[in-house]
Each structure stands twice: as C-alpha cells, then as structure tokens.
A and B are shown apart, each in its own frame.
Chain A
Amino acid sequence: MDHNKLPKLTFWRAVLILILASGLYSTVLRFTKGLGAATALSDRFPWGLWVGFDVLCGVGLAAGGFTLAAVVYIFHFERFHAIVRPAILTAFLGYGLVAVALLFDLGRPYRIWHPLVMWNPRSVMFEVAWCVMLYLTVLALEFSPVVLERFRLTKPLKVIKAITIPLVIVGVLLSTLHQSSLGSLYLIVPSKLHPYWYSPWLPVFFYVSAIGVGLAMVIFESNLSARAFKREIEMPLLSQLGKVMLVILGIYGLMRLLDLASRGALGLLREPTTETLLLILEIAIGTAVPVVMLAFRQVRENREGLFATAVLVITGFLLNRLNVSVTGLEASSGAHYFPRWTEVSVTLSLVGAGFLFFALAVRYFGAFESPPLPAGARQ
C-alpha cells in the first residue's frame, strides 16, 4: 500500500535490505571467526569504528533525549512538549543500538553482565557501564507512556506520570555522568593521545558537545520526519532550539580555544600534519561555521538554513569523536587503522535499524501525536 503513497521509500528500502544483508554476513563472520576476521583491529589498535562511532557517537547523538526532557519537565518550557517524545524515542533507540554494538565489539559479549557483579569502582568503564544500563531503564520508563496509552493501560500510566519528575532528574544526572565519562575514558592515555585532543577537560568537552549535538539531532529528526510523514514542522520551536545551540556551541568553542592555548598546543597548528587538518576541519564544521550561521536570525528561522546547520554540527561532532578515538591515537600507536568493510557494514546496519525502528514507532505508537498535558498544567 505504501508503494502508492510513498514511492520514494522503495528505493530506500532496497538500500536498507542490501545493508542489512551485508550486515548479517559480517555478523556471522564476527561471531564464528572472531574479531580478527571481521575487523581491522590489532594489538596496536585495539579500539576502532565500533567503539569510536557506534558507541561514542551513538551515545552522543542520543543526547537530545535528556536535553529536551530537562527543557520540558525541569525548566517547564511546555511549548517543547510536542517534540520531547520523538527525542526520548530516539535516545532509547540510540542507546539500545549502542548496547547491540557493544555485543559486537566485546571479545566475550555473553559476559556483558559481569560489571553488575564484578566491581571495579576505580574504572571509568565500570562507571559508564552502570550509568548506561540505568539510563536505558530510565529511558524505557520515560517512553513507556506512549506504549501504555496505545494499549489503554491507565493504571501503570498513572504510576509513571506520578514519578515523571524524579525520573527525569535521575535521567539527566545519569546522562551527565556517562556523557562526560566517555571523555574521561581517554584521560588515562596522556602519552598516547595527540595534544590537540588530550586535555584534562575532556569530560567537560564531551558533556557540552553532547548537549550541542543533542539539540542538533532534535532539529535534524524533526525535519526528516516532517518530510517522511508529511507533517507540519514546528519551526518557531526549532528556531528557539537553534538559539540555545548557538549559546552552547559558543561556550564549547571558547573552551576548546582556551584549552588549546593554555596547554601550548596552538603552536602545533603551524605544522602541516594530518592532525592539524583534522582539527581545523572538526572545529570549522562543527563549531565555527555553525556559530556564525546561527548568529543570523534569517538562518535560525529558515527551515533549510537551520537544517543545514544541524547537519554541520552533527558532522563536526562525529569528526571530533573519531579524532579522539581513532585518528588522534594513530601517531603514537605506530599503526594505521582503517575499518574493514565488514566492520562498516555492521555499523551501517545498526544505523539503518535505527531509522527503521524510528519509522515503525512513529507509525504504530504515534510518537509525534501531541500528548495530554502533564498533570500540573491540566485544566
């Protein structure tokens, strides 16, 4: 039926099927022949695309969930209520996919529960593991009203509504912890990570940039789903988000600059290295250009302009995470890492699955329908 309504989707469906098929092949390879057969990882380069992209970027891109939840429930900007649900849905899907990606990346995925019972509180990884597990639970609860409404389960719905605020606060705290901790993971490699990216402020940078990209993702998704489902776009709302993003990116850019200057890393910019090029690209695409663009009201209030800025911010964010996790480590590792196609196909499959689930959820659970007003604002 959809063929008649949305003929364009069939092309994307074909692409998706191709991607998922190659992903399936890689999955079989990964779990029968091991990481060595399915990835380009090595002793010199033990973390690659799956950690750098699937985990670091995945968690960051899902930051829209906690950002908007805070905006709506804590700061009471009720106007944003209409887009808080899709943001939480994306976050939930995002974290779910990160968990799946971890199953691919861990050498012994069936022991993923070990951190629950085998503790090492000195480890950042331990903290991240706990935060992500707890936050996934919080997200599931935050999204559950959509499902409960659909099946008209009023009793549990009431319970969830009653604990919304504590739930949101816990969610924001957990997000703050693990978003920043993904940066803290790299504090332990001062002698390995390139001075452009190694900074004692890594956790703060990761946190602030996650908020920035979370907002960009909300703008990005609202746009995409408006197109795919032929819905009106909430332009005034999104422009407001653009304004907030401008402030966040401005702060972030300034902090990065001050940090580079204070560590004397700016002098390195005179050297025409790959790292220099990548740093300039990262800052230009993800921070400098978006800040300039967002400074203009015409751009903020223009659908295409805002969308383009969001795409830039997201791209710059991806570059940053990959720089920290892959390229910034190449020089010291003495090895060159480039992902094998099987690695890429798993990553693409996860991204594809994300889009698929999002579309399904929107269609069947009406994630975009304006929800009933929260208890406080009723009547």
Chain B
Amino acid sequence: MSKSILVDTTKCIGCMSCVAACKETNGLPQNEETELSADSFNVVQSRAGVFVRRFCLHCQDPTCASVCPVGAFMRTAAGPVVYDADRCIGCRYCMMACPFSIPRYEWKLALPRVRKCTMCAPRQAQGLPPACVEACPVQASIFGERDELLAVAENRLRENHTGYVQHIYGEHEAGGTSVLFLSAVPFEALGFPANVPQDPLPTFTYRVLSKIPTVVSAGAVLLGGIWWITSRRAEVAEAEKNDLDKSGGE
C-alpha cells in the first residue's frame, strides 16, 4: 500500500498551476523556472511539443535513502520519500546517486540543505492530496493507491493503443517508483533516462556490502596465519644460526 501520482503527459496543457501550488505550499519564491532548483521542487518543461512535469519520483526503494551515510532520507510507509535537514552533513551523495538526478542543493548558502519534492507528506498526513494534483484543472495528474493508478494507466494504454507509448514509466524503473508517467512520445525525448536499471539500485551496492563480513574474517585469518608462519620461520632461522654459531665456536 503506498500513495502514488499518475502523470498523463498527453493531458497536460502547460498551465503551470501545479508549479504555483507547489511553491505556495512549500513557501518558495514564485518565480517561473524550467529547471529544478533549490526553490523549485516541481517544474513543467516543454519538450518535443509535450508538456512534462519534473519532480521527485519517490522510488519504492529509494537510492537517495540507501546512500545517505546518516539516514537523512527516508521512505515513509505512506509512500513519500522525505528528508530530515537536521541529520544531513551535506556530502551530496544523494544527488550523485539519484538515478533521476532530482535532489538540489542550496549552493548559495553558507549552511545549505538538500531540497526536493516531499509529495506533500505533511498534507497527506492530514488526509489531503498533494497540492500539485489538487491544482491541476484537467486532471493530468491524479493521486491514489499505486495499484489502482497502475490499473488506470494500463486501462488507458489498452484503450488507446496508438495514442500512447505502451510503457508506464516508473512501473519498473529503479525497482519501481511511486510517481508514474504516461506519454505519447518516447520517454527519452521527454528527458527521462532510458538506461535506468529495473533492479532497485541499492541492490548494486548490497551485493558488495554483504561480502564485507566474509572479507574481514577471511582476511584476519589469512594475515594472522601468514604472520604466524613467517615469524616461526624467522625464529627457526635464528635458532639455527645460533646453533651454527655455537658449534662453530666450539
């Protein structure tokens, strides 16, 4: 069970209502930007003649949360991936690692934070939908349970074979995301990375991290063993030399 947003780029009219609503809810300056930034968590870009929203996809197994050394990112049970600025040390590994290059940094500040969409976790906690979804006049974005939205998306693909690329972006990307996209043009043309693995990215690291206990114990035994053998050998050599010295002296 997790809450999701389905964005149907074929319906978007580029009115920017979601952008304004996002800025208002998050107390951000109302300037119109087309790139995500420390004070734009949601933008509408025009690409290949299509309007496409860009914001955090709220991965089901979020890369950002797995890489953060201090656990500043967390996936909440309800779905949103949220950030705790009080833990963050500012290493920016989350920005490096996010397969969709979403997190932004307050580069201009002496005490910066990482910034990104929270899927309106505070509003959701009050039973409200995310501000962007509520603001959309044409329901290009809709909000609901992930399974239900996947069913809706599949329906749309089935009913309109030619109107849609037969792919739900986010269903499997990076192990599945909570934000899902539909499109009439190839997703790559909309700026979505096409080479994101289907496995959750944290598994790539886990494969190695899980070997650490073996490496450490095998390494300790090996090094200890080598030390024991070589020091024995040194002792024996020493003793032999002493013997030789003695016999030579007699």
Binding site for B on A (CB under 8 A): 31-37, 41-44, 46-47, 70, 73-76, 78, 105-109, 111-112, 114-115, 118-127, 129, 165, 169, 172-173, 176-177, 184-185, 187-192, 200, 203, 332-333, 376-377
A46 to B155, CA, bound (A): 40
Q: How far is the CB of A332 from chain B (nearest CB, A)?
A: 8
- Picked from A31, A108, A115, A203, the residue with its CB within 8 Å of the CB of B90 is A108
A176 to B222, CA, bound (A): 13
Q: Does B151 contact A (CB under 8 A)?
A: no
Q: Does B131 contact A (CB under 8 A)?
A: no
A-side contacts of B208, CB under 8 Å: 124, 184, 187, 203
A124 to B105, CA, bound (A): 21
29 A–B pairs (Cβ distance < 8 Å), ordered by A: A43-B38, A75-B230, A107-B111, A107-B112, A108-B89, A114-B69, A114-B70, A114-B87, A114-B89, A115-B69, A118-B71, A121-B209, A122-B66, A123-B68, A123-B93, A125-B93, A127-B209, A169-B223, A176-B215, A176-B219, A184-B205, A187-B205, A188-B66, A188-B201, A190-B197, A191-B196, A200-B207, A203-B208, A376-B234
Q: How far is the CB of A348 from chain B (nearest CB, A)?
A: 23
Closest to A30 in B: B110
B-side contacts of A43, CB under 8 Å: 36-38, 95, 101, 104-105, 107
Q: Considering the complex of A and B, which 4 residue pairs feature the smallest CB-CB distances, nearest first?
A: A107-B90, A36-B107, A76-B230, A125-B69
Contacts of B203-237 to chain A: CB distance below 8 A: 204-209, 212, 215-216, 219-220, 223-224, 226-227, 230-231, 233-235
Do A119 and B71 contact each other (CB < 8 Å), given the known contacts A43-B36, A124-B205, A191-B195?
yes
Interface residues of chain A: helix, strand, loop or mixed (majority): helix
Q: How far is the CB of A298 from chain B (nearest CB, A)?
A: 31
Binding site for A on B (CB under 8 A): 36-38, 63, 66-71, 87-93, 95-97, 99, 101, 104-113, 193, 195-197, 201-202, 204-209, 212, 215-216, 219-220, 223-224, 226-227, 230-231, 233-235, 238
Contact yes or no, A127 B212, CB < 8 A: yes
Contact yes or no, B89 A376, CB < 8 A: no
Contact yes or no, B96 A189, CB < 8 A: yes
